[in-house]
């Protein structure tokens, strides 16, 4: 597992989003699937210049089936919910890198269309759920660039990394083995990264106090403060 980042950025490692059994199920269902396409088909001309990977066909029955597993696991994870405060989430995508495949420096589009005519999703929060163990491949680090520098991420299968969709990022070339992952975008109830980070930190401290001292006048007061801030900042 590799996560190199500074303390104050809003990148969050969430361990164990998927269980080992869920990871094995996803990998088995994807193995040999005919729906793998050139990843450049899902991006515009600018992205196509730097993207070299394979992607499970968007909107295919298999992609939808497996995406529902990932979505449900994320929505049931308290850390993901607290950090992302999801309002709408796109159906997860799945990609694979091997044989030198990579995705050069780019930024995710701000507005993502939904299949089936659903309302477009503003991409506030990007999430990658790793489906390959780090020892299964060489290279393939997710690099995210923000105000605090460049952060390298390579996590255990089933773990997720959550970061701002406005960050410039890339996937380094996979020089051996294969890197398989799921990725998705979330529109948050709180659009501003800084406000969302403050709410997450406040919620985390409240949970720690509650675990150490039980429910008290202090935890009730801080919880009221949290919800009043959320009421002030949320867009629903």
Which domains are seen in the chain, by residue range?
Answer: 12-188 (2.60.120.620), 193-233 (4.10.860)
Question: Treating both helix axes as pointing N-terminal to C-terminal, what angle do 193-213 and 217-233 enclose, rounded to 10 degrees?
Answer: 160
Q: Encode pLDDT of 21-35 as tens digits.
A: 999 999 999 998 888
Position 9 scores a pLDDT of 52
Distance CA 132, CA 39 (A): 18
Distance of CA 79 to the CA centre of its chain: 12
Position 42 scores a pLDDT of 78
**Positions at the binding site for Fe cation:** 106, 108, 169
Backbone torsions φ then ψ of 53, nearest 5 degrees: -160, -175
Q: Which two tokens stand for residue 86?
A: 């999801």
Q: Encode pLDDT of 184-211 as tens digits.
A: 999 999 999 999 999 999 999 999 999 9
Do 59 and 143 meet the contact criterion of CB atoms below 8 Å apart? Answer: no
Which among 86, 17, 70, 29 is positioned nearest to 182, based on CA atoms?
Answer: 70
Given a cut of 50, whether residue 8 has pLDDT beyond it is no
Distance CA 157, CA 68 (A): 18
User: What is the residue-averaged pLDDT of the chain?
Assistant: 93
**Positions at the binding site:** 106, 108, 169, 179
Element containing residue 229 per DSSP (H, E)? helix 217-233
For the chain, the 3-state helix, strand and coil shares in percent, each to the nearest 5, are 35, 35, 30
Given a cut of 50, whether residue 157 has pLDDT beyond it is yes
**Positions at the binding site for 2-oxoglutarate:** 179
pTM of the model: 0.93
- State whether residue 111 is helix, strand or coil: strand
Percent of the chain scoring above 90 in pLDDT: 85
Q: Which two tokens stand for residue 37?
A: 């396409």
Strand pairing partners for 185?
Answer: 126
């Amino acid at each position: 597992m590799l996560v190199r980042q500074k303390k104050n950025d809003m990148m969050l490692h969430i361990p164990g989003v998927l269980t080992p059994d869920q990871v094995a199920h996803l990998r088995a269902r994807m193995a040999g699937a005919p729906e793998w396409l050139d990843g450049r088909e899902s991006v515009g001309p600018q992205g196509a210049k730097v993207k070299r990977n394979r992607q499970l066909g968007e909107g295919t029955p298999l992609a939808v089936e497996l995406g529902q597993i990932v979505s449900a696991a994320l929505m049931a994870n308290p850390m993901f919910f607290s950090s992302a405060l999801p309002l709408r989430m796109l159906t997860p995508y799945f990609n694979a890198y091997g044989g030198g495949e990579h995705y050069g420096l780019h930024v995710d589009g701000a507005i993502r269309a939904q299949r089936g005519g659903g309302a477009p999703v503003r991409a506030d929060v990007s999430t990658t759920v790793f489906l390959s163990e780090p020892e299964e491949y060489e290279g393939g680090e997710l690099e995210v660039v923000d105000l605090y520098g460049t952060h390298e991420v390579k996590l255990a299968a089933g773990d997720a990394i959550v970061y701002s969709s406005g960050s410039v990022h890339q996937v380094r070339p996979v020089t051996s083995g294969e890197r398989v992952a799921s990725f998705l975008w979330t529109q948050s109830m709180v659009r501003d990264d800084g406000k969302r980070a403050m709410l997450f930190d406040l919620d985390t401290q409240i949970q720690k106090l509650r675990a150490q001292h039980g429910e008290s006048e202090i935890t009730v007061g801080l919880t009221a403060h949290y919800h009043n801030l959320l009421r002030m900042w949320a867009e629903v």
